[in-house]
A and B are shown apart, each in its own frame.
Chain A
Amino acid sequence: MKPAHRRWLFLAGAAGLAAFYLWGLSGLPGFGNYPGPYGPAILRIAVAQTHATGVVSAVNFEYRGFDTVGEEFILFTAAVGMAIVLRTLRRERERSPVDEAKDRDAPPTSEAVRTVALLFTGPVVVVGWWLASHAQTNPSGGFQGGVVLATAFILIYLAGEFLTFRGFSPAHITDAVEAIGAGGFAAIGLAAVCLGLPYLYNFLPLGETPGAVSSSGTIALISFFVGLEVAAAFILIISEMLEQTLLIRSGGD
């Protein structure tokens, strides 16, 4: 289709679809007037039932925990899929990073970037860890903490230390951590099944005070595993992309 035709066809369709969509949206109760029973029902019982003061995490890891299993495995599958798409093909070789460094004429990383990146690595790890372990109290949790943890590793690469980055996150260890994270979450639910309860039932002791670090039973544990998996998945994603771009070359040259 010629680009001009395509544009007109799209604009006609988009105008119609937008009108249709707006027509439907005008039937909503209006911004700020959420009516429905799901939200208030959860808010009424969540803190008492799960001893978690962060209700969003309670929804994510408890009431709708099975959705979160699926979502976590989507991330897992994407990392695995990337490993397939970016793999070393039969005609290619993965060269050692030291060889490559000599050929590339990229400018060296500036001192300012190096200093700031290396300075922040430690605190970022601490922050990520803190986020991942406080799912039940504040707007954090496994996903957020895991991403921040992965960022700490990527800061090392940004500081120009690609070799150190690779050293800290070798593929087989990252794979294993990712598998433990994803499998661990699924296995916690399975543990409930072994106890004769429905899958993902919260069978761990709920703790005394709502909102303490050790409260809320399986929520905190699940959040820990999710943090592991997300951190490993993001490190894998970035390191696979970097390997494909920087290291893998065709033939025997």
Chain B
Amino acid sequence: MEHIAIIGNGISGITAARHIRKKSNKKITVISSETDYFFSRTALMYVYMGQMKFEHTQPYENWFWKKNRIALKKGYVSKIDCTAKKLLFSDGEQLSFDKLIIATGSKANKFGWPGQDLKGVVSLYHKQDLEAIESLAPNNKVCKRAVIVGGGLIGIELAEMFHSRHITVTFLVREKSYWNSILPKGESEMINNEIKKNGIDLRLGTSLQEIRSDSNGQVKSIIIAETGEEINCGIVGLTAGVSPSIGFVKNSMLETNKGILVDKNLETNIKGIYAIGDCAELRSPSAGRRPIEAVWYTGRIMGETVAQTICNKETPYTPGHWFNSAKFFDIEYQTYGWVNSEKHMKANEVHFHWQHSDQKKCMTFAFDKNTQTLLGVNSFGVRLRHEVFNDWLTHKKTIDYVLEHLENANFDPEFYRTYSKDIIDKFNQEHQSELRLRKKKWSQIFTLKS
């Protein structure tokens, strides 16, 4: 019986294991040094905030693995012997495999700041990070202030976490506006506002000089590069992005760049060894996609894909249209296709932006100025239907068509007010056009289809 070893029990590795089990009888071993069982790291914040218990982050009950003959092994792989097809563990143990899937995920970026490894400096990625945060910042008596460095999605999650325990948060963002390398101006500014409204001390255009410690080697304060200001704090969160966690393959025969290089079948330069998820770097990503995409669903799709290939059905990794989602305090965000920030806007890309006066909802539509086809949409505070936008992107619908049919793409709960009319009015005004909102027909209410 062929033995498939999988390093990493995150979404990528576990999805691969489950799909291999669905399709075959192969022996499967999933190895992790982090936890005994698969959990959703996306939910770590909710555990600290008391919205969930850690057990709630585990999508499968503990009996699931034995029942499905997926062996779980706790251990740290220190070396891969590609020729002998063997894994060497840090405790000296060995494990042979026939095929190997590497799904070791990411680690937090650190840019050589003085004091970056002090006690009290954390990130938010692993279960161990959550435990560290819980012990360092259990309440606002033990930890009076938290400083977060790096204005991305994890940074804002950390801010919300500390805020939930009434700990004062100073949020250092290097850019002039939150996440403005990704978000267009109007949206980025709306989120700045939301962060401040929640009582976060947001410092834009501010970067970290160094982290200082007290006599016990514990974080005491940070120094701001631009002003030299010292801010006392009990904990520092480093959230300046993540990069592939591939330290243990550095001296193997596996080819790496930022991540482990893989071909379109997710196979590395060594036959029978695959890499998926955050740690994989595609040699030639498909159009409109990046070589490394550290998001939840790409890990899942890679797991689904590699399982096909391993079960003798060679399948290339072909993600469809880009999409993503996040939540900034109370504002939900969804994106389909590409809406680039001013900094990265394509030559043919133009934007139409609508914002509600309550500063909680806005949408940006990106379209091609020559062909008028939709390139992407960013939506804040209004839920959109994935299926519909996916379809519109595939069929290259024009911005006119999209706006006229916007009601069909709404995914907000029943009885919610929709804003399609306001949006189309604003577009008409700006473009001197006369688009008319196509109201959902009664028949459509019962069929849901566009």
Query: Do A and B assemble together?
Result: no
Q: Which residues of A contact B (CB under 8 A)?
A: none
